[in-house]
Amino acid sequence: MDTLTVLMDNTHNGLRTTVSEHGLSFLLKVKGKQFLFDTGASGSFLTNAQLMNEDLHQVDTVILSHSHYDHSGGLRTAAEHLSLTSLITGVGFFRPKYSGYGPMYNYHGCGFDQKYINQKGIAHTEVAESLECADGVFIVGGFHHHYVFETTNSLFVVKQGNEFIRDDFQDEIACVLDRPEGLTLITGCSHPGILSMIVDIKKRFNKPVCRVIGGAHLSKETPERLSRTCDELVHLGVKETFFCHCSGSMITSMLQDVPLITSYALTTADELIL
């Protein structure tokens, strides 16, 4: 049985002994393999895994959706305590990330570099377009913008030389499960735009995205954008959503009034059958 377990999210519901933080970490068990998709902001995902009786010692690959601290800050803990041999990221992952408006910016990056990865003997693979890491399990990057109303937050910037420029999130990657009934999309934050990502993936695989799991970065968006997002999700053929982290509660609430989509909210310690 293939499953996704939420090791870290902003909220928790049932197992109150678990820790919640502003971050995201999923344990993926697919095709007899185990992958860690994002590591949260700290090493607390490991504590939560222990509380949930999840043995992570079979995990040898970490997939980091992008290099913001709340998705990659726990990598050092993973490298110290797990038997990691492989790290998968998007292109430009180590560009220093910040947030803010001049003249003051706050560091939002991952807290490690390529030198650290090399010292740990971990092979680093950058994905520009697509990589199949197991049978029917793909890591996908290189997303394009398809909707005018899906704009990236100008608060997020990268440091380039002596300048801070707007982050285009070229390092954002997602996981796609290719199933006979359609595609399952697993996201970290969807900074390029959740709809744009679905459009790109649908085109590349020539299949509908039936299920979307993870962060959609809609927590601070206007009701108008949320409404248009709901309409487009229906138009694109999405049947189920399991949003969490940066998605906000409003999008899930609004989708529950959409007859053609079944919508759920994921929290820390949830396990989802894939």
The letter for the amino acid at 263 is S
Q: What ranges do the domains of the chain cover?
A: 3-273
Give me the residues of the chain with pLDDT under 70, please.
none
Burial class (CB in 10 A: 0-12, 13-18, 19+), 26: buried
Cα distance from N-terminal residue to C-terminal residue, the chain: 8
What pLDDT sits at residue 89?
98
Q: How far is residue 30's CA from residue 250's CA, in Å, rounded to a whole number? A: 30
**3-273 domain in CATH 3.60.15.10?**
yes
What pLDDT sits at residue 102?
83
Nearest by Cα to 74 from 11, 21, 17, 15:
21
Q: Tell me whether strands 174-179 and 156-160 are parallel, antiparallel or unpaired.
A: unpaired
DSSP string, 160-210: ETTEEEE---TT--EEEEEETTEEEEEES--TT-HHHHHHHHHHHHTS-EE
Which residue's entry shows tokens 């797990």?
Answer: 82
Q: Provide the whole-model pTM.
A: 0.97
Q: How far is residue 38's CA from residue 59's CA, in Å, rounded to a whole number? A: 12
What pLDDT sits at residue 17?
86
What pLDDT sits at residue 101?
85
| Cα atoms found within 13 Å of the Cα of residue 68, Cβ hemisphere only | 25
What pLDDT sits at residue 12?
83
What pLDDT sits at residue 67?
98
What pLDDT sits at residue 79?
98
